[in-house]
Amino acid sequence: MRKNEIYKKGNFIITTDKEKLDILAVFNLLKSSYWASEREKSVIIQSIKNSLCYSLFYGDEQIGFARVITDFATYAYLCDLIIDSNFRGQGLGKWLVKSILNHPQLCTLKKWSLHTRDAQELYKQFGFAYLENEKVYMQKNQN
């Protein structure tokens, strides 16, 4: 994998450097979400370990996060994208998605997917669309 990617905009920084990632901040961000509020800290740590992670900082404070699960060749799944509620409405989510999609090892991938209950308009701006035939998409849930 390439060295860590870093993007800057004013006092905001996006980095893929996991050493800069603030686990407690990510845990608290995900606790505030509808999709990961029940996720245990140990599971979050394991998911970070096995994903390409994007951390969004305002100065030294981590205010955003996203993960990409990928083989770096054919497919990527974008997940856990979240921005601290105090920083929403500033285009940071859009900047984070753009940074992810422009990553040198991801920008040539042919297929991306994600799940969202409330951010469809954000992702549509980047070419994400509803599945045409949901009968081909399958999943398995474990208790």
Q: Give the pLDDT confidence score for residue 2 in this predicted structure.
A: 57
Q: Give the pLDDT confidence score for residue 1 in this predicted structure.
A: 47
CB neighbours of 130 closer than 8 A, spacing ≥ 6? Answer: none
CB neighbours of 1 closer than 8 A, spacing ≥ 6? Answer: 52, 72, 105
Q: Give the pLDDT confidence score for residue 20 in this predicted structure.
A: 96
CA end-to-end span of the chain: 34
pLDDT digits (tens, 9 = 90+) for 71-92: 999 999 999 999 999 999 999 9
β-strands 12-15, 52-58 pairing:
antiparallel
Residues of the chain with pLDDT under 50: 1
> Rounded to an integer, what distance in angstroms lies between the CA atom of residue 100 and that of residue 14?
10
Q: Give the pLDDT confidence score for residue 138 in this predicted structure.
A: 78
Structure tokens at 14: 């996006």
Q: Give the pLDDT confidence score for residue 23 in this predicted structure.
A: 97
Long-range contacts of 114-120 (CB under 8 A, 24+ apart): 114/77, 114/78, 114/79, 114/81, 115/35, 115/79, 117/34, 117/35, 118/34, 119/81, 119/93
pTM of the model: 0.91
